Amino acid sequence: MSQKRNDHFRIARERMVESQIAARGIHDPRLLEAMKKVPRHLFVDEALWDQAYGDSPLPIGHGQTISQPYIVARMTQELGLQGHEKVLEIGTGSGYQTAILAELAARVYSVERITALLPRAKKVLDELGYHNILIKLDDGTWGWKEHAPYDAIIVTAGTPSIPNPLIKQLNDPGIMVVPVGDEYSQTLTKIVKHDGKIDTIYMEGVRFVKLIGDHGWRA
C-alpha cells in the first residue's frame, strides 16, 4: 500500500482515539497507544476501509460485526491490563479486539465458533506479527480449560447469563467483562474475583450480537 494511504489511515486513527476514546474519558496511556497503533481497517473488507475509523460497529460477514472502537476501548480498560496477564477472549470475530489485547497483555487465548471467520482473522494477526495469540474454533461458552486460569476474560457477544465455566476459569484475583441481557440490549457487566469472593459491577447499556452455545443462547 502507498505511504500516502498509510499516512491517511494513521491520521484517521489518531483522530479516532482523540475524538471517540480520549474525549469520552478513557485515559490509560498504554491503551490509547494500542488503539493508535492497531490498523483497524485491515480487519474489515477493503470496501469498508474508509469507514474503519468511524464511530460504529461494521459488518464482518456471517451476521457478525467488529465492535465500535469506543466499546473495544471501554471493555479493555476495565480489564486493567498491566502487561503480565494471560487473557481469554470469547468471540474472535475480525481479530481486532484480539490485537488490542495482544498489545497490552502477555498472552491471549481467543475462541470463535464460526469456522469461516477464522482464516482471515488469523492471517491479519500473523501479518501484523503477533506471536502471543492462540486461537481456536469452539463453543467459547465452555471457556478454554487447558490454559486456565485467566487473569482477565472478555466476552465480545451478548449472553442471557454469565457462562459458569468462564467464572470457574477466572483467576483469583481476576477480572471478567461481559455483556449480559436479552438479545436486543445488554448491560456491560464486570466480575471481579478476589480473595475467594466475587463482586459484580453493572456499567453502561450496549448492543452485541448473540453469544451462541451451551452456556449462552441456544443456536
Footprint on this chain of ligand SAH (rule: CB under 6 A)? 60, 64-67, 90-91, 93-94, 96-97, 111-114, 117, 139-141, 156-157, 209, 211-213, 216
3 vs 161 by CB, closer to ligand SAH: 161
Q: How far is CA 203 from the centre of its chain?
A: 16
Sign of CA dihedral 60, 65, 71, 77: negative
60 vs 162 by CB, closer to ligand SAH: 60
Task: Find the residue with minimal CB distance to ligand SAH.
Answer: 93
At its nearest, how many Å lie between ligand SAH and the CB of residue 83? 21
Sign of CA dihedral 193, 198, 200, 206: positive
At its nearest, how many Å lie between ligand SAH and the CB of residue 141? 5
173 vs 177 by CB, closer to ligand SAH: 177
Which of 2, 19, 56, 67 is catalytic? The answer is 67
At its nearest, how many Å lie between ligand SAH and the CB of residue 182? 16
At its nearest, how many Å lie between ligand SAH and the CB of residue 194? 26
Q: Is 67 a catalytic residue?
A: yes
Say which DSSP state 93 is in.
T
Residue 169 CA to residue 179 CA, distance in Å, equals 18
156 vs 189 by CB, closer to ligand SAH: 156
Residues designated catalytic: 67
